């Protein structure tokens, strides 16, 4: 096993990987941008180096600087986390050239997985169902429009170099196509530096179900069952769970076989995810290979008991998998809520601010993966995902209750987050029944004031007593009074002049 | 005995408070309550036992002299009025009514203006797109919070805006 590993990432995932390193007796080398000096992952690392200015393009995306730091620090391997350089074939190749082990698939595999249309062709050739779409050689707007009309409306416009929902648009009719194509291209250009797009048939009422794969360098491939990721907003996942309430054993077995076949067809090594769309008639289609550790990997860890980051490191170190498919026995149910600095009351706009107070949920079956701390200012430069709350319980209804309980214990003040949204999801009857698709949030979520009679009454009583005591400390009308009186007078004066 | 009107959202509670110890005499909407409160952390965390029901409340003052309370996962904005303050507001009441203030559409985050869809003088309906901004690699269509006439467009295509900058004013 390695003695020292560089983690080319920040935030919660950097901390997650460093935790695995610490348990394996590996020294972790962190990197940080100028904006991240106060970030918790910097404090968690054993060694840590600055790699440049705040914008990711000048720090976390700088292959040259990160490889240079890894060599100088004497790291043997580089773990990319997710996002940033995780699926960048040039980065994996640069690591290899510098005699560093890249913790992930080979550069050629990354290149093939990143080429979404090429990957689709590979999977179709391997006999895995794919969604009908326009061929990769179509580049011109007019030709793509004709292909879209042939496939039949509605269609999905997707960035060829894409992922994570960026540059993706649904188009319901021919009249809107030109406009949406323009937006998709411009978003693809700014997100991936490549404005190539293609179209795919839009699957009605789809659910997003993905399979976790582990493949070692010795030809062993296992799956660690599925994750349901249908609770999304604008193609960004918000809640994930395992097992999927949409699968029965028969369908699960068929999809798992397809996932294993896909991993073999892609010549995959290390941890990866095969994403599928499941339509209302329970047909499934290959969507893409995510050639990295997923954000939502903890739900799989909780139901299977497998530590995916440790497995990644073992596989990268050349060890064979220590278990076979039959040894993977999932138990119970796990749910993850992504805690993002986004305001659900304000269209999920990214929020910034300083976390002035923080109390993390705990107790039986609760796991918290975070890159935050009290006093931490959430920077504007990076992804708004700041933490993940994950629970495990004996079955799905108990896991939902446990998540509700954990969310109620969570205090995070100073920055708007998705916590209230998740409370709403856990209370939703539709979610509880498990009968939802990827349109769930759009269809049902309406920001509304919380109604909790007893808690409201308690808050009203307490605040009134606090006001009463402030008034008593500094009675109105006395000069040299405390801040309460000053504020009161100021307010009165302002009101009297009609401001 | 002091009277208070304490508002959370659309609900206003009428309270009376007498005494200053940990167990003051309190009525809520005319009903006497059994109260015991304990300051766990100064000006921050309180334990309240209200008629036998236990609650832990995390409290801070907001900029306008009100309170923000976290209780069992709920975030509540609480404002407390005493009799004098209430009277002042009531005397002033009505003066501002009937007038609809101009609506300012502000940048919800630091962003780049990709497109401006309206010009001063345009009539817009509620929900109509005003401009497209991009931040964190996502394009966002900024919509009119209500119908009206565009009074001012304070942005230009291709320029950056900071959090809270006024983009468009609707009258």
CATH assignment of A4-103?
3.40.50.20
CB A311 within 8 A of CB A214: yes
Res. B108 pLDDT band, cuts 50 70 90: confident
Instruction: Give helix then strand counts, H and E, for chain B.
Output: 1, 17
Q: Which of residues 113-132 of B touch A (CB under 8 A)?
A: 114
Report strand pairing: A4-7 vs A77-79.
Answer: parallel
Q: What is the pLDDT of residue A138?
A: 86
Residue of B nearest to A422 (CA): B73
Q: CA–CA distance from A16 to each of A9, A41, A312, A342, A445 (Å)?
A: 10, 9, 13, 22, 31
Q: Of A293-307, A469-483, B95-109, B137-151, give the lowest mean pLDDT range.
A: A469-483
Q: What is the pLDDT of residue A448?
A: 66
- Considering only CB atoms, A187 lies closest to which of B68, B95, B139, namely B139
Residue of A nearest to B143 (CA): A347
**Could you state, in order of their start, the residue ranges of all structural domains in chain A?**
4-103, 132-201, 207-444, 455-496
Q: What is the pLDDT of residue A478?
A: 35
CA distance A465 to B49: 13
Residues A174-202 pLDDT 10s = 999 999 999 899 888 887 888 889 999 98
- Considering only CB atoms, B137 lies closest to which of A190, A419, A460, namely A190
Interface contact A349-B26, CB threshold 8 A: no
Q: What is the pLDDT of residue B75?
A: 82
Q: Please tell me if residue A496 touches chain B, with a CB cutoff of 8 Å.
A: yes
Residue of B nearest to A184 (CA): B139
- Considering only CB atoms, B95 lies closest to which of A356, A408, A498, namely A498
Average pLDDT over residues B6-31: 91
Q: Which of residues 455-484 of A touch B (CB under 8 A)?
A: 455-469, 471-472, 476
Low-confidence ranges of chain A (pLDDT < 50): 475-499
Superfamily assignment of A207-444 in CATH?
A: ATP-grasp fold, B domain (3.30.470.20)
CA distance B125 to B129: 9
CA distance B140 to A241: 29
Interface contact B137-A384, CB threshold 8 A: no
Among all residues of A, which ones are annotated catalytic? 292
ipTM for the predicted complex comes to 0.70
Q: What is the pLDDT of residue A215?
A: 98
Interface contact B137-A187, CB threshold 8 A: yes
Average pLDDT over residues B92-113: 68
Q: What is the pLDDT of residue A498?
A: 40
According to DSSP, residue A203 is labeled: P
Report strand pairing: A357-359 vs B25-28.
Answer: unpaired
Phi-psi region of B62 (alpha: psi -120 to 50; beta: other; left: phi over 0): beta
CATH assignment of A132-201?
3.30.1490.20
Q: Please tell me if residue A57 touches chain B, with a CB cutoff of 8 Å.
A: no
Q: Please tell me if residue A235 touches chain B, with a CB cutoff of 8 Å.
A: no
Domains and CATH numbers, chain B: 2-92 (3.30.700.30), 103-170 (2.40.50.100)
- Considering only CB atoms, A463 lies closest to which of B11, B55, B69, namely B69
Q: Please tell me if residue B48 touches chain A, with a CB cutoff of 8 Å.
A: yes
pLDDT for B98 beyond 50: no
Interface contact B85-A491, CB threshold 8 A: yes
Q: What is the pLDDT of residue A449?
A: 57
A488 neighbourhood in chain B, CB within 8 Å: 65, 85
Helix axes A483-496, A453-473, angle to 10 degrees: 100
């Amino acid at each position: 096993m390695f003695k020292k590993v560089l983690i080319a990432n920040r935030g919660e995932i950097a901390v997650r990987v460093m935790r695995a390193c610490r348990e394996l007796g590996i020294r972790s080398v962190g990197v940080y941008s100028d904006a991240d000096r106060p970030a918790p992952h910097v404090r968690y690392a054993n060694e840590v180096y600055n790699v440049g200015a705040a914008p990711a393009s000048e720090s976390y995306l700088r292959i040259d600087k990160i490889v240079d730091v890894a060599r100088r620090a004497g790291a043997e391997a580089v773990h990319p986390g997710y996002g940033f350089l995780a699926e960048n074939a040039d980065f994996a190749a640069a690591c290899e050239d510098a005699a560093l082990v890249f913790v992930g698939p080979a550069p050629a595999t990354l290149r093939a997985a990143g080429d979404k249309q090429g990957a689709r062709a590979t999977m179709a050739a391997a006999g895995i169902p794919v969604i009908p779409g326009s061929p990769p050689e179509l580049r011109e707007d007019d030709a793509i429009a004709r292909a879209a009309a042939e496939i039949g409306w509605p269609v999905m416009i997707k960035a060829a170099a894409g992922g994570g929902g960026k540059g993706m648009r649904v188009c319901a009719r021919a009249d809107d196509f030109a406009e949406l194509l323009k937006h998709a291209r411009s978003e693809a250009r700014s997100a991936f530096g490549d404005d190539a797009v293609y179209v795919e048939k839009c699957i009605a009422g789809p659910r997003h179900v993905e399979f976790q794969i582990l493949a070692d360098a010795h030809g062993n491939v296992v799956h660690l069952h599925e994750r349901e990721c249908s609770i999304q907003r604008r193609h960004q996942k918000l809640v994930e769970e395992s097992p999927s309430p949409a699968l029965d054993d028969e369908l699960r077995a068929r999809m798992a076989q397809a996932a294993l076949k896909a991993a073999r067809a892609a010549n995959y090594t290390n941890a990866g995810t095969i994403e599928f769309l499941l339509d209302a008639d329970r047909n499934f289609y290959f969507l893409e290979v995510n050639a990295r550790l997923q954000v939502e990997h903890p739900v799989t860890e909780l139901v299977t008991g497998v530590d995916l980051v440790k497995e990644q490191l073992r596989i990268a170190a050349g060890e064979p998998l220590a278990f076979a498919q039959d040894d993977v026995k999932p138990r119970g149910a796990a749910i993850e809520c992504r805690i993002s600095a986004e305001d659900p009351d304000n269209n999920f706009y990214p929020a910034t601010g300083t976390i002035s107070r923080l109390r993390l949920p705990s107790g039986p079956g609760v796991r918290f993966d975070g890159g935050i701390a009290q006093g931490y200012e959430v920077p504007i430069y990076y992804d708004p995902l700041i933490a993940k709350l994950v629970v495990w319980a004996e079955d799905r209804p108990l896991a939902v209750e446990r998540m509700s309980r954990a969310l109620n214990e969570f205090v995070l003040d100073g920055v708007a987050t998705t916590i209230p949204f998740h409370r709403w999801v856990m209370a939703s009857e539709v979610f509880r029944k498990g009968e939802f698709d990827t349109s769930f949030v759009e269809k049902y979520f309406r920001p509304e004031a919380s109604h909790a009679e007893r808690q409201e009454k308690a808050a009203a009583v307490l605040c009134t007593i606090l006001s009463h005591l402030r008034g008593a400390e500094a009675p109105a009308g006395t000069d040299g009074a405390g801040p309460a009186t000053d504020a009161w007078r100021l307010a009165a004066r302002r009101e009297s002049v009609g401001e | 005995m002091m009277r208070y009107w304490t508002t959370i959202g659309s609900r206003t509670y009428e309270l009376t408070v007498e005494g200053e110890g940990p167990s003051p005499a309190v009525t809520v909407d005319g009903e006497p309550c059994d109260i015991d409160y304990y300051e766990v952390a100064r000006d921050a965390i309180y334990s309240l036992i209200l008629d036998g029901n236990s609650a832990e409340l995390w409290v801070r003052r907001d900029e306008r002299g009100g309170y923000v309370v976290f209780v069992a996962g709920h975030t509540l904005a609480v404002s407390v009025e005493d009799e004098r303050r209430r009277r002042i507001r009531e005397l002033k009441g009505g003066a501002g009514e009937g007038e609809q203030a101009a609506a300012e559409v502000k940048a919800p985050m630091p962003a780049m203006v990709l497109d401006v869809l309206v010009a001063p003088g345009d009539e817009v309906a509620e929900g109509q797109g005003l401009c497209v901004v991009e931040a964190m690699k996502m394009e966002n269509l900024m919509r009119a919070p209500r119908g009206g006439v565009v009074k001012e467009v304070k942005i230009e295509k291709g320029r950056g805006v900071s959090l809270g900058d006024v983009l468009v004013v609707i009258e």
